[in-house]
Amino acid sequence: MKRSRWLWAVTAACLLLEPVQAQKGPEKFVALTFDDGPTPGVTERLLAGLAERYVSATFFLCGYRMENAPQLVEQIAENGHELGVHGYRHCYLHDLPRDEVCTELTSTAEQIAALTGRRPTVLRPPGGLLSDTVRETAAEYGFPIILWNVDTMDWCCDNPQTVAQRIVETVEDGSIVLLHDLHDSSVQGVLLAIDQLEAQGYQFCTVSELALVHNVTLEPGVAYGSF
């Protein structure tokens, strides 16, 4: 009798000491994307904030801006982020003839490859504006077209809280968020949003990783707004 009581007591003590496993909800992933950079004095602060939080993102770069800050392109790549094509001049591709669309895509891609040793594999046309010519040229050169389903309008908003609110209130699993590394308010806003969304169980990844998580094969010339 004494032995059975002793065994019961030991068993109960072990159960009490066993760590309780937290209940986890379904995993939620989102891709943060940044257009129009790199911007000296802004992109560095963004990269530092992302690194502190172990967050990966996708940067759609402009050729003329890379010429002025090649070291930032290298840093973006070294930090493990995905690099994509945003055109050389940041002109609306849907208005251009095919030969000019080709030049915009190939010259920007060659710049990125020369600076990083990595050929970009995704395209975002400025403004997200498309035409049959843009789609066909993207398909020819092997670029899936990445759009978005969360627009922060951060390029015309100087309030970090508003930028963060637009992300947090709109995002869902599989979202692609449109941002720009042009202004400090965008950097502050997205970092606020990251901290809030991480507390809600969100994880951050590149666009290509987000497609993989959702079992989507990115096809050249096809446009994706979310997964």
In degrees and rounded to multiples of 5, residue 57 shows phi and psi of: -145, 180
8 Å CB contact between 78 and 72: no
Q: Which of 35, 36, 154, 181 is catalytic?
A: 35
Among the residues of the chain, which ranges form H helices? 2-17, 43-52, 63-68, 70-78, 98-116, 132-140, 160-170, 184-199, 207-213
Rounded CA-CA distance 57/191 in Å is: 12
Q: Which of 81, 86, 180, 183 is catalytic?
A: 180
Closest among 60, 113, 112, 114 to 90, alpha carbons compared:
60
> Is 151 one of the annotated active-site residues of the chain?
no
Beta-bridge mates of residue 78: none
Which structure tokens are listed for 219? 């096809």
> Is 180 one of the annotated active-site residues of the chain?
yes
Active site residues: 35, 180
